[in-house]
């Protein structure tokens, strides 16, 4: 199965394999080659606001290294269970804003082990993130693309999931099948509270928005709250560098962060579930 659509004309893309080179081609002969690592770049130049949009390599590497230590595994496990409760056998899952593919890969593995034989796709605007994702999981189809212009056919996905990524309701509704399910992972109000207290003079709670979203019926939420402990500065630095706080923090706060050798902090997540109206 293939759900990719041409980012130039919107027509279906079909896989071609010539001289051991894989590509996606539409009927208007717009062609997109697969990279050696296994992803395809479907982000056209007119959709880029910068030369290298999305997370930079520092954030991607920090997130990959931190998540590989399974600090967020309890949340990932619950996300897998939620997706599994909505996906039919041989259903299609799209991870919109997949990053380096940690959650995408875990969902694919969980569904496969439960006999669902899923088709799983992931897109992200950061090329270095998608490259890392493609290297980590060959069973998932990854593409560089924007969540605001998703290179996916209309009404093609049973489940769209998005973890800590930008939200685009119009595009999410477009790609979901009728009665399809959208699953959003957001930080809870006190996520990383002790980290913030250690770094900032005045820590602030996360602003959890109202659950209602236009074009979707809110089904419910799974709240995942627990605590994590880090006993070295490397894990702490990776955690901070993978968040937006890293670039919004002044020199004095970075000095405090650099001095931390251990940290015990709350983590708090909400897994929101919606049906397409």
Buried b (16+ CB within 10 A) or exposed e, 40-55: bbbbbeebeeeeebbb
Domain boundaries, the chain: 38-276
**Segment 248-257 mean pLDDT:** 90
pLDDT value, residue 249: 87
Whether residue 256 has pLDDT greater than 80: yes
In the structure, what pLDDT confidence band is assigned to residue 243 with cuts at 50, 70 and 90? confident
Tens of pLDDT, residue by residue over 5-24, are 999 999 999 999 877 789 99
Q: How far is it, in rounded angstroms, from Cα 182 to Cα 162?
A: 8
pLDDT value, residue 258: 93
Query: For 192, left (φ over 0), alpha (ψ -120 to 50), or beta?
Result: left
- Decide if 92 contacts 101 (C-beta within 8 A): no
Whether residue 141 has pLDDT greater than 90: yes
Note the helical H segments in 98-230.
102-113, 127-136, 169-175, 193-199
pLDDT value, residue 123: 98
- The HSE-up count of residue 142 (CA atoms within 13 Å, CB side) is 33
Angle between helices 233-241 and 57-67 (to 10 degrees): 130
Note the helical H segments in the chain.
57-67, 73-86, 102-113, 127-136, 169-175, 193-199, 233-241, 251-259
pLDDT value, residue 16: 92
**Segment 99-126 mean pLDDT:** 97
pLDDT value, residue 174: 98
**Segment 72-98 mean pLDDT:** 98
pLDDT value, residue 136: 95
pLDDT value, residue 211: 94
Percentage of the chain beyond pLDDT 90 is 88
Single pTM value for the model: 0.95
Which of 91, 87, 163 minimizes the C-alpha distance to 123?
163
In the structure, what pLDDT confidence band is assigned to residue 117 with cuts at 50, 70 and 90? very high
pLDDT value, residue 208: 86
Residue 210 tokens read as 């109202």
- Decide if 183 contacts 162 (C-beta within 8 A): yes
Tens of pLDDT, residue by residue over 15-70, are 998 777 899 999 999 999 999 999 999 999 888 778 778 889 999 999 999 999 99
pLDDT value, residue 68: 96
Q: How far is it, in rounded angstroms, from Cα 116 to Cα 24?
A: 26
Place of tokens 């699953």: 183
Q: What is the CATH number of domain 38-276?
A: 3.40.50.150
């Amino acid at each position: 199965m293939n759900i990719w659509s041409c980012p130039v004309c919107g027509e279906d893309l079909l896989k071609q394999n010539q001289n051991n080179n894989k590509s996606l081609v539409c009927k208007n002969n717009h062609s997109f080659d697969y990279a050696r690592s296994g992803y395809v770049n479907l982000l056209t130049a007119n959709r880029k606001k910068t030369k290298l949009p999305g997370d930079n390599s520092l954030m991607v590497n920090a997130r990959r290294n931190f998540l590989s230590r399974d600090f967020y595994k309890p949340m990932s496990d619950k996300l897998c269970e939620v997706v599994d409760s909505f996906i039919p056998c041989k259903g299609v899952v799209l991870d919109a804003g997949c990053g380096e593919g940690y959650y995408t890969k875990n969902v694919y593995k969980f569904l496969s082990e439960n006999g669902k034989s899923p088709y799983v796709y992931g897109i992200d605007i950061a090329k270095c993130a998608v490259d890392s994702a493609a290297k980590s999981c060959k069973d998932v189809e990854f593409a560089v693309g924007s969540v605001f212009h998703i290179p996916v056919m209309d009404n093609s996905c049973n489940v769209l999931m998005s973890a800590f990524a930008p939200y685009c309701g119009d595009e999410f509704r477009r790609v979901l099948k009728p009665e399809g399910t959208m699953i959003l992972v957001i930080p809870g109000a006190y996520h990383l509270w002790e980290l913030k207290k250690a770094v900032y003079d005045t820590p602030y709670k996360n602003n959890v928005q109202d659950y209602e979203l236009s074009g979707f019926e809110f089904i419910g939420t799974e709240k995942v709250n627990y605590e994590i402990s880090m006993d070295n500065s490397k894990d702490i630095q990776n955690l901070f560098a993978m968040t937006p706080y890293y670039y919004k923090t002044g020199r004095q706060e970075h000095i405090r962060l650099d001095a931390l050798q251990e940290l015990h902090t709350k983590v708090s997540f909400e897994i929101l579930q919606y049906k397409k109206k």
